[in-house]
Amino acid sequence: MRRVSPGEVAARAALRWLGTPYTWGGGGTAGPTRGVAHGARRVGFDCSGLTLHAWSKAGVRLGHYTGAQFRHGRRVRFSDLRRGDLVFFGGGSRGAPTHVGLYLGRGVMIHAPRTGDVVRRTRFTHSRHYASIYRGAVRPRP
């Protein structure tokens, strides 16, 4: 029987939550949670809460902050992306990234984009917006 990679475990866990509302500060190891501040009235995920949850199913503990996740694991070149890798966007060239998604393959990520939206798939390689602010990728260490 073929062993499932940690990245595949994380991808499958994230895909279970397609359509879940974006909630600022929401998400934890058990799944969607009530957010904080302006997200306190809704249960759901923010971008880093979704990736934190997904990778927890693969036995990896990530912080609930995009900047911390950017420093957790091994940097991966775009050409070497694998299913489950974390892909980062925004924040300029020196600041911490402002958004994270989980790579699914073929230029597609799953992510919790913004207030008023839901967890969704996005072909970021074909998005003028995401392609222009791509910061890099990280493969978390189990």
Give the active site residue among 38, 53, 111, 126.
Answer: 111
Report the distance separating Cα 105 and Cα 120, nearest Å.
Answer: 14
Phi first, then psi, for residue 38 (nearest 5°) are: -70, -5
Give the active site residue among 38, 47, 53, 72.
Answer: 47
Q: Tell me, yes or no, if 72 is annotated catalytic.
A: no
Report the distance separating Cα 54 and Cα 11, nearest Å.
Answer: 7
* Token pair in block for residue 30: 């058990």
Give the active site residue among 38, 64, 72, 99.
Answer: 99
Q: Are 60 and 47 in contact (CB under 8 A)?
A: no
Report the distance separating Cα 106 and Cα 87, nearest Å.
Answer: 13
DSSP SS3 for 69: helix
Q: Tell me, yes or no, if 129 is annotated catalytic.
A: no
CA angle 17, 23, 27 (to 5 degrees): 55
Which residues are marked as active site? 47, 99, 111
